[in-house]
């Protein structure tokens, strides 16, 4: 009667040496406390030569044996032998075990093996063979007993190893627990970065290990080490204005961005998506003192949808950029200060904010008061505040974006758009000295009769004719007719923001404005 068993391969996401330390913990000074049926354990051989540790143990077991079978056997205990061969160079552990008692009637042979699969993976498999030649007519009973005992022992062995792995993890600091789980390429990364992986995943070491792997993969994908050696494209230099200036009050570098002067449309037309992302990565990589968190000061003066923020290519790029930056710079941002946000910024933020992860959005502060310098000094040193905001930092800014996005039309002029359920329609008008708008209507009604008008904060009738945002019905599509009566020419920009892009933006924007007003206190 012969029974064979072979297990599936079990994987442990730990380095081989770490698993071996956990395995060794099961053995006490005189036995194996984790396995109660082992009553005694004697070491018969113990050698360690050329990186190979060879140890032979003889164990006295006291398993549960039915009374009649125990009386027939005449004993309460049985003896097993186990040989462990640990090859540190090859990173393998081979365990062979066999029975010594009644070996002329029953043979139990087991082979288990642990081996390293790369730096941070250990695999385990086991095989067993049970041969029963004769056992006083109780062969079937002995077979069932041995199989039940072996199955229980196998399950118990896995649970014991997992217990010691968990215990070892709890004994170490989160950083020390994370180190063995790192990819080989970043094994020697500074502790501050390990702590950032942990912070970015709310202290969860397993998730931090996943963040470290994504960080390593992103650095290789974007060839970050080589970016500093490449020249910036001229289109980027001419249309993107962002500089590192001074320090925040915690000692971190400050990135200053005059957002309204960025030539978004020109950049998007001139450069491929990946090149834009590489330029942003390069800018952040070049920050002074990367070991500390940085702040960003964003001047929103002149920001508007005409810059191209709501175009699908720009949204797609920002979405991909947000994901890439989250992988490359976890927990690196201290805060973002938004100042001088004009009325059109509400529409821009409604599109941009859903593309930013929740942890980053929580670090964004909006200030809309008049004393910019006084309030910024609560967070930034004066050498981080540009001169045009009352600070001491010189900043030779590029010219304002020249690609206006306006379409030139002659008055009177009428435009019809289709508003989908829940969408927002944004309009923006540019006048010249010869422009004379006499009447502005939406669906034939003057402004006072138009319901559910959003974004027209502190605007008179003239300026509402120039700028506004209309929220469409949630129930059905509708035709919206805009009409400007008058004479002369004007520049016109109209954009329809679908509900899936807005994502409930108006209500969330209201809470955004009130919640972030802390900056003005």
Q: 112-129, pLDDT tens digit by residue?
A: 999 999 888 999 998 888
Same domain, 488 and 339: no
Residue at 511 is within a domain: no
Q: 343-352 pLDDT, tens per residue?
A: 666 666 766 7
Question: Span 368-377, mean pLDDT?
Answer: 79
Contacts of 212 (CB under 8 A, 6+ apart): 178, 181, 182, 183, 186, 194, 197
CA distance 137 to 406: 98
Same domain, 266 and 297: yes
Q: Which of 34-38, 46-50, 307-311, 364-368 has the lowest mean pLDDT?
A: 307-311
Same domain, 67 and 51: yes
Domain that holds residue 277: 224-389
Instruction: Judge whether residue 212 has pLDDT over 70.
Output: yes
pLDDT for res 138:
59
Instruction: Judge whether residue 505 has pLDDT over 70.
Output: no
Same domain, 441 and 498: yes
> Omega into 412 within 30° of 0, i.e. cis?
yes
Same domain, 431 and 311: no
CA distance 79 to 92: 26
CA distance 328 to 218: 6
pLDDT for res 128:
84
Same domain, 311 and 179: no
Q: 15-25 pLDDT, tens per residue?
A: 999 999 999 99
Q: Which of 59-68, 308-317, 477-486 has the lowest mean pLDDT?
A: 59-68
Residue at 359 is within a domain: yes
Max Cα separation, the chain? 116
Q: 282-322 pLDDT, tens per residue?
A: 999 999 999 999 999 998 887 776 777 767 788 788 889 98
Residue at 516 is within a domain: no
Residue at 361 is within a domain: yes
pLDDT for res 113:
96
pLDDT for res 288:
94
Instruction: Judge whether residue 502 has pLDDT over 90.
Output: no
Q: Which of 389, 415, 430 is the last residue before a domain boundary?
A: 389
Residue at 63 is within a domain: yes
CA distance 514 to 194: 35
Residue at 396 is within a domain: no
Same domain, 240 and 306: yes
Residue at 36 is within a domain: yes
Q: What is the CATH number of the domain that holds 12?
A: 3.30.530.20
Helices (H), 205-331: 205-221, 224-227, 234-239, 264-270, 273-285, 312-328
Contacts of 77 (CB under 8 A, 6+ apart): 39, 60, 61, 62
Q: 221-245 pLDDT, tens per residue?
A: 999 999 989 999 999 998 898 999 9
Same domain, 292 and 330: yes
Instruction: Judge whether residue 105 has pLDDT over 70.
Output: yes
Q: Which of 171, 193, 211 is the last residue before a domain boundary?
A: 171
Six token digits for residue 321:
């950029």
Q: Which residue has the higher pLDDT, 28 or 52?
A: 52
CA distance 308 to 263: 9
Q: How confident is the model at residue 143 (pLDDT cuts 50, 70, 90)?
A: low
pLDDT for res 222:
96
Q: What is the CATH number of the domain that holds 377?
A: 3.40.525.10
Same domain, 98 and 188: no
Q: Which of 389, 421, 446 is the last residue before a domain boundary?
A: 389
CA distance 184 to 180: 9
Same domain, 262 and 372: yes
pLDDT for res 53:
96
Per cent of the chain over pLDDT 90 is: 38
Same domain, 290 and 202: no
Question: Span 312-335, mean pLDDT?
Answer: 89
**Domain count of the fold of the chain:** 4
Same domain, 376 and 485: no
Q: Which of 82-96, 359-373, 440-454, 462-476 has the lowest mean pLDDT?
A: 440-454
Residue at 515 is within a domain: no
Q: State residue 242 phi and psi, 5-degree precision.
A: -150, 135
Instruction: Judge whether residue 464 has pLDDT over 60.
Output: yes
Instruction: Judge whether residue 41 has pLDDT over 90.
Output: no
Question: Span 46-58, mean pLDDT?
Answer: 94
């Amino acid at each position: 009667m012969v029974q064979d068993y072979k297990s599936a391969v079990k994987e442990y996401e730990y380095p081989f040496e770490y698993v071996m330390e956990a395995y060794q913990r099961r053995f006490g000074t005189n036995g194996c406390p984790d396995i109660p049926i082992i009553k005694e354990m004697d070491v018969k051989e113990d050698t360690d030569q050329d990186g190979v540790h060879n140890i032979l143990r003889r164990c006295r077991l006291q398993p549960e044996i039915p009374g009649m079978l125990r009386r027939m056997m005449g004993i309460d205990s049985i003896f097993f032998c186990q040989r462990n061969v640990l090859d540190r160079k090859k990173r393998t552990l081979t365990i062979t075990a066999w029975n010594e008692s009644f070996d002329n009637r029953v043979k139990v042979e087991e082979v288990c093996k642990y081996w390293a699969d790369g730096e941070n993976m250990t695999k385990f498999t086991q095989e067993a063979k049970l041969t029963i030649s004769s056992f006083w007519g109780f062969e079937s009973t002995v077979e069932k007993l041995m199989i039940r005992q072996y199955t229980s022992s196998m399950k118990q062995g896995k649970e014991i190893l997992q217990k010691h792995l968990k215990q070892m993890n709890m004994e170490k600091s989160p950083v020390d627990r994370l180190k063995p789980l790192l990819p080989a390429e970043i094994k020697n990364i500074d502790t501050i970065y390990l702590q950032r992986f942990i912070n970015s995943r709310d202290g969860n070491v397993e998730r931090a290990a996943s963040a470290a792997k994504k960080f390593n993969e992103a650095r290789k994908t974007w060839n970050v080490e080589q970016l500093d050696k490449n020249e910036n494209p001229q289109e980027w230099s001419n249309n993107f204005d962002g500089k590192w200036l001074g320090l925040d009050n915690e000692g971190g570098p400050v990135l200053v961005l005059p957002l309204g002067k960025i030539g978004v449309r020109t950049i998007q037309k001139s450069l491929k998506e990946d090149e834009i992302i590489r330029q942003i990565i390069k800018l952040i990589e070049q920050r002074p003192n990367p070991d500390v968190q940085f702040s960003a000061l964003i001047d929103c003066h002149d920001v508007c949808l005409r810059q191209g923020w709501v175009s699908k290519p720009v949204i797609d790029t920002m979405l991909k950029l947000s994901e890439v930056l989250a992988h490359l710079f976890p927990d690196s941002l201290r805060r973002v200060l938004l100042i001088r946000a004009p009325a059109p910024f509400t529409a821009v933020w409604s599109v941009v904010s859903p593309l930013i992860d929740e942890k980053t959005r929580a670090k964004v502060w909006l200030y809309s008061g008049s004393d910019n310098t006084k309030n910024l000094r609560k967070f930034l040193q004066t050498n981080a505040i540009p001169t045009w905001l009352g600070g001491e930092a010189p900043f030779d800014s590029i010219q304002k974006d020249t690609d206006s996005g306006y379409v030139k039309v002659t008055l009177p002029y009428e435009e019809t758009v289709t508003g989908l359920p829940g969408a927002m329609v944004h309009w923006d008008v540019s006048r010249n000295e010869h422009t004379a708008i006499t009447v502005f209507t939406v669906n034939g009604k003057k402004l006072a009769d138009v319901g559910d008008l959003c974004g027209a904060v502190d605007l008179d009738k003239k300026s509402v004719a120039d700028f506004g945002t209309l929220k469409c019905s949630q129930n059905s599509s509708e035709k919206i007719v805009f009409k400007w009566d008058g004479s002369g020419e004007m520049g016109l920009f109209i954009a329809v923001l679908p509900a899936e892009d807005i994502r409930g933006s108006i209500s969330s924007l209201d809470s955004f404005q009130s919640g972030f007003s802390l900056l003005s206190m």
